[in-house]
């Protein structure tokens, strides 16, 4: 997903060949669809559709914050707040 620049469709057969499964293709499709549901559960911003013959990946927000985003949050949290300045 991090290298994706545009929508990408991949055939179920290509995925089956890539991941090398011992099960038949129909069982692989079922297992893969459950795995995608697990990914969506922990990464709700991801946009993946599982069609009959294709899985399509769409540009999505990153699953992790970038280093710049993390540093920005760290800098903001290290600044004294207005409440901390006047003692309230």
Chain segment 43-57, per-residue pLDDT in tens = 888 999 999 899 999
Whether residue 73 lies inside any domain: the answer is yes
Greater pLDDT, 76 or 12: 12
Q: Which residue has the higher pLDDT, 66 or 58?
A: 58
Positions of E strands within the chain = 8-11, 48-50, 54-57
Average of per-residue pLDDT across 23-30: 88
Say if 86 falls within a structural domain: no
In a domain, 42, yes or no: yes
* 85 — pLDDT class (breaks 50, 70, 90): low
Residue 21 domain flag: yes
Q: Which residues of 6-37 are buried (b: 16+ CB within 10 A; e: fewer)?
A: eeeeeebeebbeeeeeeeeeeebbeebeeeee
Residue 51 lies inside a defined structural domain of this protein: yes
Query: Which has more confidence, 64 or 9?
Result: 9
Measured CA to CA, the distance from residue 20 to residue 23 in angstroms comes to 9
Structural domain contains residue 88? no
Domain range for 12: 8-79
**85 in a structural domain:** no
> How many domains would you assign to the chain?
1
> Do residues 25 and 12 touch, judged by C-beta distance below 8 A?
yes
Q: What is the pLDDT of residue 54?
A: 94
């Amino acid at each position: 997903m991090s290298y994706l620049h545009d929508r990408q469709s991949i055939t179920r057969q290509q995925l089956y060949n890539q991941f090398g499964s011992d099960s038949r293709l129909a069982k692989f499709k079922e297992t893969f669809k459950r795995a995608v549901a697990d990914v969506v559960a922990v990464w709700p911003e991801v946009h993946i559709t599982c069609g009959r013959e294709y899985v399509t990946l769409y540009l999505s927000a990153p699953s992790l914050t970038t280093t710049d985003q993390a540093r920005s949050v760290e800098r903001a949290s290290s600044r004294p707040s207005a409440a901390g300045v006047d003692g309230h």
